[in-house]
Structure 1
Amino acid sequence: MTDSVQIGGDAVLTPRTEALRARLRLVAMALVPVVGALVLSGLVLLALGVNPLAYYSYVVERGLLSPYGVQATLTRMAPLLLIASGLIVAFRAGIWNLGGDGQFLLSAVVVAALAPLLIHVLPDWATLVVCLVVGAAVGAAWSVLPALLKAYQGVNEIITTLMMTFLGVSFANVLVKLAFRDPATTVPQTRTLAVADRLPRLFDTTISSGLLIGLAAIILVHLVMTRTAFGLKLRIVGANPRAAIHAGLPVPALTVAVFAISAALSGLGGAVEILGVQGNVRADWNPAYSLTVVPLVFLARFNGFASIAFVFLFSVLSIGGESAARRTGVPNFFTLVVVAILLVMLGITEYLDQRRRAAGK
């Protein structure tokens, strides 16, 4: 079978070849920013007097090759996958929910305060289930105001969700230092959930079973968004809200639903982080996972399975980067520099691709 046919002297690609080229373009659009970010980050390391090959080798050794590092990497993935699944729902529906950090942290603080109290009155499994549900509910509740303003007043959700993130982070710190503070400690923090009462480990390792929750969530979100009528409605709203209104879709209700689902998944990520790893929340703790996951979801083109791969890559970089930073004298936040460069490279790649497609028309 040929890959092109001849029409009027011009070669026309077959649908099969067109589909293959489209897939290759998507792969290139995902890999080029990653490779470019690693190269540019290496140049930054050179400017700092650090051997980039040594830095990256330490990253791979710690985050991917050592048994403890792999377990830490897989555990780190759990909240990131839940946040990514929430972002996929929002972005596919054309909604910019950038309030994930506030939803995540506020849910984490509430769960951290609630779990040590419930463990004395409920069975372990019931405590974990209740706290997971409460975490999701707190995240969803924190999105109500931006959802209503977007759905019924048309207020830009980027502004409102970022404002709610600022408020959520500040409110969470107030709760830790005042209402939920453990009186038995000198450093402001919530009471600590004992390791034995947290989410079970997998296969006699240190890997939290929260990883399974994260994998299940992102796969379910992918299937719902690509294989169900509800997902189709959300994609129509995201592609063309006016057309969705003319088609009779309840756009305001769907908008509120998207906010609730997206924020609930971010809140669930906060609950999983506390119940699976941290056990408590200290004052001023904010891992800022949500804004970090945004470029990973874009690189994956809102595909759940591809997002798993990029979250794994970032987790390796994050866990391995901590060890590499200590060995090479680079600041711990250099991983965020790599992510920032990745964002720039993603924007440049998108711009060049749009120009190429416009020139080809």
Structure 2
Amino acid sequence: MIGGSPSDGKLAYRLIGRLHPRRWLAPLLMSAGPMVVALLVTGVLLVMMGVNPLEYYGYIVRRGLLSPSGLQASLTRMGPLLLIAASLIAAFRAGLWNLGGDGQFLLGAVFASASAPALLAAGTPLWLTLLAASLVGAVIGGLWAVLPALLKAWQNINEIITTLMMSFLAISLSNLLIKNVFFDPGTTVPQTINLAYADRLPPLFDSHVSSGVLIGLFALLLVHWLMTRTALGLQLRVVGANPGAAIHAGLPVIGLTVLALALSASLAGLAGAVEVLGVQGSVRADWNPAYSLVVVPLVFLARLNGFGTLALVFIFSVLSIGSESAARRIGVPNHFTLVTVAVLLIVMALTERVAGRRREKKGG
């Protein structure tokens, strides 16, 4: 080979192969296609409601992305969503279904909201208070997943059922704590003691963007690296793919199962802490944004890839903030975004079914 060694030629060949359109075009279409179809279907629903879809989507883009206040709100909304996305990726890549994220989120928010004012009243420095309250939220969320993890590891009880049941219990327990233990006696509405704006997570660059978005971004990239580039991540994936093979390989299946679900739940609890310490300031009774189940299709649409999830979470945040404004100005229901997510789930399922049949035909 002229001007280089054979190994250089092989490396160049591999790089060219990775850049070939067939390597990246199909995954891109599998991710972007369902989203485009979902937007078209919801556009038809908007027409049936007497709303111009172009006006609606245009308003969402202007309010959620192009306006300075809307963009800042969208970036702030990303903080807890990124943490929940990291939580789901940690579980799904380990072959586990943690569908109790909403309960873990609420418990983390409640305990973080209760601990922060108490620590400040005891004279704890602000930075240490925020750090400790965030850790409290993460630990509480993680502990709430230990029982489903043990039931899965010891008795092979479906974690979908147990995490959902624990989520319902967590939501009820959160409301009970707010109304009877952590309530603010100075308010008429049942809620925890409000954290002053100056005592919350600091904003970024003299803006209104909560620094929680950086916490979420760091957690998402860290989980992506952990699950794809480390020996621990490989062990977790092996346990999720084939527990029997993992046992024969000498892997501690029970410990890894508990670790994966606890890590996932801890990130969901941290998401609740970030939301209350950075944005809400307090937790009201019966408050439940239900972020976890909304983020599930985004994570799957990104094929459990951290970078793809980051892009989709940003798009969803813009859509969410913009639709809240559209609900006031155009008259479209505020929860119409959930309709888009539901349609997206259906389209994703159909897309995966069609792709599966094509793979079966090729294999046959």
TM range (shorter): over 0.9
Secondary structure in structure 1 of the residue aligned to 2:221 = helix
- Structure 2 equivalent of residue 250 of structure 1: 252
Change (3 A) 1:235 1:18: farther
Shift of 1:23: 2.3
Q: Answer yes or no: is the 8 Å Cα contact 2:17–2:23 preserved in 1.
A: no
Shift of 1:178: 1.2
- Structure 1 equivalent of residue 161 of structure 2: 159
Residue range with higher mean Cα deviation, 282-291 or 22-31 = 22-31
Hey, which bits of structure 1, 4+ residues long, moved more than 4 A? 17-20
Q: State the alpha-carbon separation in 2 of the partners of residues 15 and 153 from structure 1.
A: 48
Secondary structure in structure 2 of the residue aligned to 1:249 = coil
- Structure 2 equivalent of residue 216 of structure 1: 218
Shift of 1:16: 2.1
Aligned length: 348
Shift of 1:17: 7.2
Q: State the alpha-carbon separation in 2 of the partners of residues 17 and 141 from structure 1.
A: 42
Secondary structure in structure 2 of the residue aligned to 1:49 = coil
Shift of 1:113: 1.2
**1:27-73: CA deviations, max 9, x gaps?**
11101110011000001111111111111011000000000000000
Match for 2:125 among 118, 123, 126? 123
- Structure 1 equivalent of residue 263 of structure 2: 261
Shift of 1:22: 3.7
Give the unaligned 5+ runs of structure 2.
1-14
Secondary structure in structure 1 of the residue aligned to 2:210 = coil
2:213 counterpart letter in structure 1: L
5 Å-filtered alignment, 1:269-284, equals 269-284=271-286
- Structure 1 equivalent of residue 134 of structure 2: 132
Q: State the alpha-carbon separation in 2 of the partners of residues 158 and 278 from structure 1.
A: 29
- Structure 2 equivalent of residue 311 of structure 1: 313
Q: State the alpha-carbon separation in 1 of the partners of residues 292 and 116 from structure 2.
A: 23
2:340 counterpart letter in structure 1: V
Change (3 A) 1:71 1:15: closer
- Structure 2 equivalent of residue 300 of structure 1: 302
Q: State the alpha-carbon separation in 1 of the partners of residues 154 and 237 from structure 2.
A: 19
Q: State the alpha-carbon separation in 1 of the partners of residues 65 and 16 from structure 2.
A: 40
Q: Answer yes or no: is the 8 Å Cα contact 1:98–1:161 preserved in 2.
A: yes
Secondary structure in structure 2 of the residue aligned to 1:119 = helix
Q: Answer yes or no: is the 8 Å Cα contact 2:201–2:210 preserved in 1.
A: yes
Shift of 1:271: 0.4
- Structure 2 equivalent of residue 108 of structure 1: 109
Shift of 1:356: 1.2
Q: Answer yes or no: is the 8 Å Cα contact 1:73–1:319 preserved in 2.
A: yes
**Root mean square deviation of aligned Cα:** 1.3
Q: Answer yes or no: is the 8 Å Cα contact 1:56–1:324 preserved in 2.
A: no
TM-score normalised over the length of structure 2: 0.94
- Structure 1 equivalent of residue 179 of structure 2: 177
1:179 counterpart letter in structure 2: V
Give the unaligned 5+ runs of structure 1.
1-13
Q: Answer yes or no: is the 8 Å Cα contact 1:136–1:268 preserved in 2.
A: yes
